[in-house]
Amino acid sequence: MKETGFPRADAENDFLRARRGQVLSRLSTWLRREPDDVNIMLPFHEVVEALGYLGEHRIGLRVIKLDSIVGTVDRSRDFDRRFRPTSARVRERWERLALAARRGEEIPPIEVYRVGELHFIIDGHHRVSVAIAQGLSTIEASVTVVRTKLAPGGIRHRGDLIVKDYRRLFLDRVPLTGHARASVIVSDPWDYAMLGEHVEAWGFRLMQDEGRFCDRASVAQRWFDEEFVPVVAMLRQAGLIGDRTDAEAYMWVAAERYRLIRTHRWDDEVIEALRSRRP
């Protein structure tokens, strides 16, 4: 839509264009049968709970990218994930801010939490919506950095929080670090619970064999070094990884190994039995 040269009329057109984009996006989502939550802003408190809160500190005013703002603190339903208005309820305030911006008036900075590279609005939903509608790419914000146990990478919509939550719980039970932590990844959140139980059982057998107690961190590292790494290497040589992650392949063969042969050992007999059962 071309600008009219009249700030008030252009502000009204900004709102209508944003609303039309939101309606078309909802229609497109419905036609593609995507999950209902793909256009909903991520809820800050659910994200932090899933990732594991460690602490926070304020760093003051910063210029941030608008496309890094993915969520909100107050679970606002007035805007979708791209901060387009979801109804006419916000129109009066929205157009007032759009008019002020078009007239070059000073707009106060928004306030956000920063988690990794993502930002969550504390205050300023309307200002963000107007800035995006008017084609801006950045906005000034007062930023508070929140530290979490897990990084927020891979979070696209609320459904992804389930995987993060289960992974956080898994890492509480199996406190891997560094390369080991990054190597053990599964897609199905329930697999983290199953893998956690498996590692704890492995640790129990280890302590029985050695006749001494090992804490969780020691069990986790020894399981990774003495069981996971050599088994995955063996599975790669046998062509048993497929399109799974290393951890998913390990879980599958560990379960099949015991079901077929009733043993916890790894040898050629086990590998041949597993190769014959490969899906």
Query: What pLDDT is attached to residue 88?
Result: 78
Please give the order of strands across the beta sheet that includes 53-65: 42-43, 69-72, 118-123, 110-115, 138-148, 53-65
Query: What pLDDT is attached to residue 163?
Result: 76
Query: What pLDDT is attached to residue 270?
Result: 61
Which residues of the chain does CATH 3.90.1530.10 include? 7-148
Q: Taking residues 226-250, report their average pLDDT.
A: 87
Report whether pLDDT(120) > 90: yes
Q: What architecture is the 7-148 domain classified under in CATH?
A: Alpha-Beta Complex (3.90)
- Residue 139 DSSP SS3: strand
pLDDT band at 221 (very low <50, low <70, confident <90, very high): very high
Among candidate residues 177, 267, 271, the one with its CA nearest the CA of residue 222? 177
Between the alpha carbon of residue 168 and those of residues 70, 71, 90, 221, the distances in Å are 21, 20, 38, 17
Q: In sequence order, which residues have a C-beta less than 8 Å from that of residue 195 and are 6 or more positions away?
A: 170, 174, 184, 186, 247, 251
More confident residue, 65 or 278: 65
The rounded distance, in Å, linking the Cα atoms of 94 and 85 is: 9
Query: What pLDDT is attached to residue 75?
Result: 65
Query: What pLDDT is attached to residue 259?
Result: 59
Q: Taking residues 157-186, report their average pLDDT.
A: 84
Mean pLDDT score of the chain, rounded to an integer? 81
Label residue 198 left, alpha or beta by phi (over 0 means left) and psi (-120 to 50 means alpha): alpha
Query: What pLDDT is attached to residue 190?
Result: 83
Query: What pLDDT is attached to residue 1?
Result: 47
Query: What pLDDT is attached to residue 175?
Result: 92
Residues 277, 256 contacting (CB under 8 angstroms): yes
Report whether pLDDT(86) > 70: yes
More confident residue, 220 or 263: 220
Query: What pLDDT is attached to residue 37?
Result: 46
Query: What pLDDT is attached to residue 35?
Result: 47
Answer yes or no: pTM beyond 0.85. Answer: no
pLDDT tens, residue by residue, 3-40 = 656 667 767 777 777 766 655 655 555 455 554 444 57
Q: Taking residues 239-268, report their average pLDDT.
A: 73
pLDDT tens, residue by residue, 42-84 = 889 888 988 889 999 999 999 999 989 988 998 667 887 788 8
Query: What pLDDT is attached to residue 103?
Result: 87
**What one-character-per-residue DSSP string does 154-211 give?**
T--STHHHHHHHHHHHHHHHS---HHHHHH---SSHHHHHHHHHHHHHHHHHHHHHHT
